[in-house]
Amino acid sequence: MGGASGITGGLDKIGHDLERIDILLVLVVLACAWLILALIRILLPRLANRFPVRFRNRILQAGPVLRLAVYLLAASEIVPLLVEPSSNKILAALGAAAVAVGFAFKDYLSSIIAGLVAIFERPYRPGDRIRVGEAYGDVVHLGLRAVKIVTPDDNAVVIPHSRLWDSAILNANDGNREILCVADFFLHPAHDAQAVRRKLIDAALSSPYVKLDHPIVTTVSEKPWGTHYRIKAYAIDSRDEVPCVSDMTVRGKMALARMGVRPALATAVPPSE
């Protein structure tokens, strides 16, 4: 009871000081913070596009750190305007705020804490291609509460950082410019496997999207319906993942057609009676 009355008394004292708060100055600080955040959101991607591609991801990755610095700077300016720097008042305000906010915004705070972890541990960064659950795409914005990705079908998906606590995060390029691309081919088993393998590697080598100083790997596995080939090559830029896979697929199909290799055809299974 003593602790509760202390907090109540502290809050009452804070309430008496409200008339001395410079509301105009608080609004000016908030407006300046909002303007700086908007400039970071608009200008940083434009700045990244003006630099060579190899610097693009590094420039974009500075966005979350800059936004966090703006939040902390704005808070450091506003809090002294709202709360007189007295230990009793600060403890009273923090105690009341922790109880109220903890119950009302438990999930929101969990996402913010996870967002701080994401900024420093960097499981994903702007420019990365990630998969969280069923969502896969480019990280275009890393906020304090959530990460925004754009899928290859141009759908925007907002994922709260709290998914870090209970979901696996798959990062396809992990801050690197290049990304591994895989093209699949399903062929009739009656063919020369060595010749097919060479042709598919040649098809990947001829693609303008493929980074030639990285190895091109082929895997072959026999299935009941035919032979499954996978060509793995690195695209020069992570944004070219879909065009690279499509280009390798088209070039591979053309090469296989010239060889006379037939694709595998799945046999329809009659419905059980």
**Whether residue 29 is found in the same domain as residue 95:** yes
Task: State the pLDDT at residue 15.
Answer: 45
Is position 264 within any domain? Answer: no
Q: Helix 23-50 to helix 62-82 angle, to the nearest 10 degrees?
A: 170
If you average pLDDT over residues 161-182, what whole number do you get?
A: 88
pLDDT digits (tens, 9 = 90+) for 113-124: 888 888 888 888
**Whether residue 223 is found in the same domain as residue 133:** no
Task: State the pLDDT at residue 19.
Answer: 60
Least confident of 33-47, 75-89, 230-244: 75-89
Task: State the pLDDT at residue 225.
Answer: 87
Measured between alpha carbons, how far is residue 195 from residues 118, 169, 202, 260, 266 in Å?
47, 38, 11, 12, 24
**Whether residue 81 is found in the same domain as residue 159:** no
**Whether residue 220 is found in the same domain as residue 240:** yes
Q: Which residue shows structure tokens 């060509």? A: 231
Task: State the pLDDT at residue 201.
Answer: 94
If you average pLDDT over residues 84-90, what whole number do you get?
A: 60
Is position 269 within any domain? Answer: no
Tell which of 104, 121, 151 closes a domain: 104
Q: Which domain range does residue 166 map to?
A: 129-171
Is position 267 within any domain? Answer: no
pLDDT digits (tens, 9 = 90+) for 39-65: 888 888 888 888 776 677 777 777 877
Tell which of 144, 171, 198 closes a domain: 171
CATH number at residue 133: 2.30.30.60
**Mean pLDDT, all residues of the chain:** 82
